[in-house]
Amino acid sequence: MTTSPPITSTSTSTMARWLALGAIAGPTLFTLAWLILGSLSTGYPIFGARIEPYSPIAQPISGLGLGDTAPFMNAAFVVGGVMLLAGVAGIAMTVDTQRRRTARMTCAVLLAATPVGMIIDGVFDLEAMVPHSIGFLLAAGVPVASFLVAGSLFRTTRRHRRLGLWLLVASPVILALVVGFFLTFEPTVEGAGHGIAGLVQRLLVSVVLASFVAMAWPAFRQTR
């Protein structure tokens, strides 16, 4: 007598696909927030001084989490992070791979560091330097490792080999951008209006979030 292979329920497959959509909606919301608020901001107060005008080229996205734009930018950090966290869960549920369950769980936990970091940065603004920096490193630094793991995992699947290659290439690019950001960032009020740290950070954030969108789209389209 033969036994049929286990079949994933339609309801579970549908839930996973819609959860994966969060990894598209979250990055889109966050990107629109810093684009729009960055064009509207006239500056922000920090440590008793005021940075003005706001320069997207010189100043970090987190500067929008202070001053008049703070409620909207910090909400975008938190809501975008929650959406992305749901998206990571959906992506993990739709990966069809021969790897062991522990490998898939490790990949999901590492990928979840990015949305968790976004939420932390939304709760603790730039004046709370230590927790905010931890959030930044989780969101933008951990992908150096998480994309290597995810890329290796996706490369074992027939459907997602190109996506796996993208992630393997994105990892060293992100590392270079993280290093570039710290080399160009001036952690002083006097240096806030100079340099290209804001531009480098925006490139970094865009590569990270675009990679999550690249993972989410095939997961959302996938049918069982």
CA distances from 145 to 55, 107, 148, 184, 211 (A): 31, 10, 5, 23, 13
pLDDT of residue 159: 74
Domain annotation covers residue 171: yes
Domain annotation covers residue 23: yes
Q: What is the pTM of this model?
A: 0.87
Domain annotation covers residue 3: no
Residue 8 confidence class, pLDDT cut points 50, 70, 90: very low
Domain annotation covers residue 6: no
182-207 confidence digits (pLDDT tens)? 999 876 654 456 789 999 999 999 99
What is the domain range of residue 166? 12-221
Domain annotation covers residue 95: yes
Domain annotation covers residue 51: yes
pLDDT of residue 111: 96
Domain annotation covers residue 1: no
- pLDDT value at 99 more than 70: no
The number of domains in the chain is 1
Domain annotation covers residue 2: no
| Angle separating helix axes 70-94 and 197-221, nearest 10 degrees | 40
Per DSSP, the three-state class of 17 is helix
pLDDT of residue 7: 41
Average pLDDT over residues 133-145: 96
Q: Which of 5-14, 21-30, 51-60, 192-201 has the highest mean pLDDT?
A: 21-30
Q: Which residue has the higher pLDDT, 172 or 9?
A: 172
- pLDDT value at 143 more than 70: yes
CA distances from 171 to 71, 76, 77, 151, 213 (A): 32, 25, 22, 9, 15
